[in-house]
Structure 1
Amino acid sequence: MLPAVAVAAVAVAAVVAVAVAVAVAVAVAVPALRHRLVRSALRRAGGRYRRRLEALGSDVRLSQERRLRRLLGTGTGTAGGERGAAGRGAGRGSVPWLPLSPCASPGRLGGVPGAASPGAGSLLYLDALGAAFPRALARRGTALLHWTPGCPRAPAGWPLPTLYCTPAPAGALPSRAAALRVQLLFALRQRALHVLEAGLAAELHDALVALRTEWPQLAQELALGRLSPQPGLPEGLRAECARGFEGIAMRLWPQLEVVVLRTAHGTERLYCDSLRQADCQGLPFYCPFYQVGGGESLLGVNLWPAEPVTRFLLCPDWAFCEFLPCPANKEPRTVLLDELWEGREYGLVVTAQPGEYRCRTGEVLRVAGFHKQCPMVEPVRRESHTLSVRGESIPEEQFCQSLCRALRMWPGARLIDYVCVESSLLGDSSGPCAPHYEVFMELQGLRDLSEGQRYKLDQCLQEDFPVYKSFRFKGSIGPLRLHLVRPGTFTRLREALGSPLPMPRVLHEEQLLRLIQGSVVS
């Protein structure tokens, strides 16, 4: 028989153990329960807003008239006259070439000023993502890889911050490389990830490049527990990285369902293609928002996360939109949201907030279809991003197509990145030759190019652009010069840009030019 004191002590210890176990269970359960409750509420709100959007799409013309009234601050009695001045008749006949002024981002991705409700875009995102991938909204199941120095911008799912396993302060570090590296470490700690999210495709690309080049050091840091001890994780990381990096995302995070990219079109397509072919092989890519003006004005949303082709629904209650048919006539006249034709391309003109009327964005869109009366569009190119040394105006998207065609003639070569420079920026270093382009490329599979291979790109440009060929024949444009740079050059170039913006394909700053010239190896 145990003494009474000993029995009491054992009983107290048992009670304490039970109390501690209950406290731990409650501490774990309460955040999880709170996450589920908030997620459920946000899903319901997103569903309600989606139904409202469906109703607005049943009469696009009326929805746009109401939007324009709010922008102009007019009453219902004058709306028709104001609309005629801004969008119809004589007022629509000529479009002033105005830059799209920076717009505030109310509610952080909540929509353009005056939109129906703050956070509308993110509510629609959460609803669409949860419907297509139910586990994607799990607590701490999303890793964010996004650099936001000095100007923190919320992630796509900002109304539900418990989605993210990566701490918000990590993105605000002054160094882009350091921010992405810290966020990658937090992502590697969470093996039960369902979503990889990045602001730019280039950010996810560079984070996974860091994994390729630094995985022994990353495994060492995780083993030492500088974040927190992770038994078993470093060995698994080392084993998977040692097997190679094709499909590495699915192997490191077996429950991964989707890659979310805030910006995946334009110059970011090159990185998307690279990720799909290698590190993120087998994963769907979802770009939820269509934004203009440096990502500040939200104009459309992608409601179909699981579909392979990205299409954005232009929301009639978020901005007043006009469209210039492409190619433009001598006297361009805009058409409105309810006057578009499927399959055609249009330049976008936006009135997004008071004081910013009929701003030409430089975006060219293709109408891919309709959801009720709302057009679904695909971004095609930016009119303002062109190469021109003699007025020949080669769009950067078409230049990239010519470059990729030339690349197929170089056996074993794979394009990692590239940038173009017009010889006027080179000054005396360009020599006494005629104005020309210089192209700096990072390739995989080739260390040098013969003169014949280098000429292939100039030849492709001549075949694809008759005006360029004519100037080359006359000698008023000199032969294109091609340079190979060492690995990692473009990662450093993106760091030097100093802001999380899409990679420019035409350099206009001497500082950036000097950086890339110092990395030429051939």
Structure 2
Amino acid sequence: MLLLWLLLLLGLLLPILAMLWQQRSRDARPSWLIRLQHRVAWGALGWAAAWQQRKLEQSTLRMGQSQHQVLMWCLKRAQSPCRLSRGNTDMSTFRNHLPLTKISQAQEEESEENLPPPALPQYHGEASLQATLLGLVTLNKAYPEVLTPGSTACVTPTSPWSNSVPWLRHALGRVSPIAAKDTRTLLLEALMSPGLRALEARTAVELLDVFVVLEADGKELAEAIAAGNLGTPLPKRAAELQKALEQGPRGLALRLWPKLQLVVTLDAGGQAEAVAALRALWCQGLAFFSPAYAASGGVMALNLWPEQPQGVYLLPPGVPFIELLPVKEGTQEEAASTLLLSDAQREKEYELVLTDHVSLTRCRLGDVVQVVGAYNQCPLVRFTCRLGQTLSVRGENTDENIFSAALAQAVGQWPGAKLLDHACVESSILDFCDGSAPHYEVFVELRGLRNLSEENRDKLDHCLQETSSHYKSLRFRGSVGPAKVHLVGPGSFRVLREALAACPTSSFPPEMPRVLRLGHLAQLLQKRVIS
């Protein structure tokens, strides 16, 4: 109730202050009004975050009870026919009446009934709100200068904060407060603000795209800044942009914004390569923070430790209802039964199983986590791989981690090359009819290398054999052919992501696949091969 009244008060006060903020000159120094607006916003944010922190503490101290309450909530609000009692249903009854299904199976069933896919909606629930409120407060404690007025800019139309709370961008004095702007306009406004301390983008792959576009269109962007296309002409700033670009990609962000400390993106599947490329090139020397991990369209886990290395998340006991399916070592077979979050064991690996209140279907997400610690009774996890991103042309099951490690090892042997992105295709998807044994078709986008020699191409297959004994055995017998590597032109994966985002069943944000199962997506990359 307190939060409701608080938000109502803010709804009346902050739009007026935000409008006054917009009317001020971009170059004006913070006035008493701006400082007041910022203090009011942080006061409200602090109260709301403290309330969410108390709720999180209470729920994580009583994990079993909390998860049972979440299950009852889902049953009571189920929008699909349900044979379960909506009263006191225990876990055994729940499991017996709702068998496990994979996302692909559930989507096929739901499409026949013209119902939305069960694991793809974007959740705006408790986890989403907690990720935003608690993430902002903890980020402010770790990097207090980052969230001062005019210090943060988002360069993608969608923010990495899963629940943006519309007044926050205005009240906290962010650069480019209107999220409806296109990426180019947002980038221009960020470039016009040399005092930035934090750079935001929805995901790391989208931020990588922004920097690639910045380098490709740097001259046009500099001309737009010099001409004052978005306001006051800034010829000096345009000259700084051109000079920074002339020195290459390494450390570009800090040359453009000398006070920059932090990059904020929303973590999701398939982001590791983009983060590694950003750290090694454009964002060298900057800290990275993800307030949450998004899987299958919703917030699955929270990150409340900005000062810690990226990758440790808390699985909260909220909506959607999450179970853990033990992963048997060396296989993809599931165990006999799922576990509640409170039953998770340290160092063990589990696949996430999600049940939402829309379709009431227990879906295996394919996202695998390893338990690395505990927060009260709540597991702290690292996301390790996605079972749906496994290559298998002869039953070898080369998972995402094994292939990525082999590819990184191979790229490390290609002089001057930096991996920006990659995708794999099983040869049968592309309908090769040359009589060769089944094999992997690998598409890579690189920086620093414009041509691949046959010797370099062969290194990937050798690295795969070193990494996977099963793959090596199949290669020795000739059951599997050598992996074929293709270099695609700049921007190829941006085009792929645009095609993925256009799919009706695309998650939000769209996870970056490493194994393409659809022929038209594979052909999209095949048409852009340059070597």
Instruction: Report the TM-score when normalising by structure 2.
Output: 0.81
Question: If you compute each CA radius of gyration, which structure gives the higher value, 1 or 2?
Answer: 1
In structure 2, C-alpha distance between the alignment counterparts of 1:383 and 1:479, rounded to whole Å: 23
The C-alpha deviation readout for 1:101-123, integer Å capped at 9, x for no partner, is 145445xx4436xxxxx833322
Q: Does 1:158 align with 2:165?
A: yes
1:385: Cα distance to partner?
1.3
Using a 3 Å threshold, how does the CA distance of structure 1 residues 153 and 197 change in structure 2: closer, same or farther? closer
Q: Which residue of 2 aligns with 1:403?
A: 407
| Deviations, residues 403-446 of structure 1 (Å, cap 9, x unaligned) | 11222333333222222222222225x52322222112223333
Q: CA deviation at 1:209?
A: 1.6
For residue 191 of structure 1, report the CA deviation from its aligned partner: 2.0
SS of 2:149's partner is coil
Q: Determine helix, strand or coil for the equivalent of 1:125.
A: helix
Cα 1:314–1:249, aligned 2, differ >3 Å: closer, same or farther? same
Q: For residue 387 of structure 1, what is the aligned residue in structure 2?
A: 391
| Cα deviation digits, residues 336-367 of structure 1 (max 9, x gap) | 11111111111111223253242211110011
Whether contact under 8 Å (2:251, 2:282) holds in the other structure is yes
1:101 aligned to which of 107, 118, 134? 118
* SS across alignment from 1:228: coil
* Aligned-residue offset at 1:54: 1.3
How far off its partner does 1:220 sit?
1.0
1:95-494 superposed matches below 5 A: 95-98=100-103, 99=106, 101-102=118-119, 104-105=121-122, 109-111=124-126, 119-147=129-157, 157-159=164-166, 160-162=168-170, 163=172, 164-168=174-178, 170-171=180-181, 179-231=182-234, 232-263=236-267, 265-293=268-296, 295=297, 297-327=298-328, 331-353=335-357, 355-428=359-432, 430-494=433-497
The 2-side partners of 1:330 and 1:268 are apart by 26
Q: Is residue 266–residue 397 contact of structure 1 (8 Å, CA) maintained in 2?
A: no
Structure-2 residue corresponding to 1:9: none
> Bigger CA drift: 218-227 or 461-470?
461-470
The answer to whether the Cα contact below 8 Å between 2:422 and 2:442 also exists between their aligned partners in 1 is yes
Aligned residues of 1:266 and 1:380 also touching (Cα < 8 A)? no
Bigger mean CA deviation after superposition, 481-490 or 393-402:
481-490
Does the Cα contact within 8 Å between 1:418 and 1:439 map onto a contact in 2?
A: yes
**Cα contact 2:254–2:260 (8 A) shared by 1:** yes
Counterpart CA distance in 2 for 1:450 and 1:316 is 51
CA distance in structure 2 between the aligned counterparts of 1:440 and 1:138, rounded to whole angstroms: 42
- Secondary structure of the residue aligned to 1:168 is coil
Q: Aligned letter for 2:321?
A: F
Secondary structure of 2:310's counterpart equals coil
Letter matched to residue 213 of structure 1: A
Mean Cα deviation higher: 97-106 or 55-64: 97-106
Q: Offset of 1:239 from its aligned partner? A: 2.9
Q: State yes or no: 1:517 paired with 2:507.
A: no
After superposition, the Cα gap between the structure-2 partners of 1:510 and 1:35, relative to the gap in structure 1 and judged at 3 Å, is same
Q: CA deviation at 1:375?
A: 0.9
Q: 1:353 to 1:470 in 2, by over 3 A?
A: same
In structure 2, do the counterparts of structure 1 residues 60 and 287 end up closer, same or farther at CA, with 3 Å as the change threshold?
same
In the aligned structure 1, how far is the partner of 2:335 from the partner of 2:89? Answer: 23
Task: Measure how far apart 1:153 and its partner are.
Answer: 9.4
Counterpart secondary structure, 2:68: helix
SS in 1 for 2:202: strand
| 1:81-116 C-alpha deviation (Å, 9 max, x unpaired) | 4333225xx679x6344547145445xx4436xxxx
2:34 is the alignment partner of 1:63: no
Unaligned runs of 5+ in 2: 1-23, 78-84, 107-116, 503-508
Answer whether contact 1:298 1:318 (CA < 8 A) is retained. no
Q: Which amino acid aligns with 1:484?
A: L
**1:199 aligned counterpart, secondary structure:** coil
Deviation readout 1:63-89 (Å, 9 max, x if unpaired): 112222222239xx98664333225xx
Residues 446 and 193 of structure 1, relative CA distance in 2, 3 Å threshold: closer
User: CA offsets, 1:368-398, max 9 Å, x none?
Assistant: 1011111111111111111222332222232
Amino acid at match of 2:36: L
The 8 Å contact of residues 105 and 111 in structure 1, kept in 2 or not, is answered as no
In the TM superposition, what is the alpha-carbon distance from 1:32 to its structure 2 partner? 4.5
| 8 Å CA contact retained: 2:439, 2:483 | yes
Q: Does the Cα contact within 8 Å between 1:110 and 1:122 map onto a contact in 2?
A: no
AA of the residue aligned to 2:135: Y
Give, in angstroms, the shift of residue 260 of structure 1.
Answer: 0.8
The Cα shift of 1:306 comes to 1.3
Number of equivalent positions: 474
Q: Does structure 2 retain, via aligned residues, the 8 Å contact 1:343–1:367?
A: yes
Over 3 Å counting, the alpha-carbon distance change for 1:199 and 1:169 in structure 2 is: closer
Q: CA 1:494–1:47 in structure 2 vs 1: closer, same or farther (change >3 Å)?
A: same
Structure 2 CA distance for aligned equivalents of residues 452 and 153 of structure 1 = 41
SS of match in other structure, 1:143: strand
**Helix, strand or coil at the partner of 2:134:** helix
Residue type at the aligned position of 2:244: E
**AA of the residue aligned to 1:341:** Q
CA contact (8 A) 1:111 1:318 kept: yes
Shift of the 509–168 alpha-carbon distance from structure 1 to 2, 3 Å rule, reads farther
Cα RMSD for the two superposed structures = 3.0
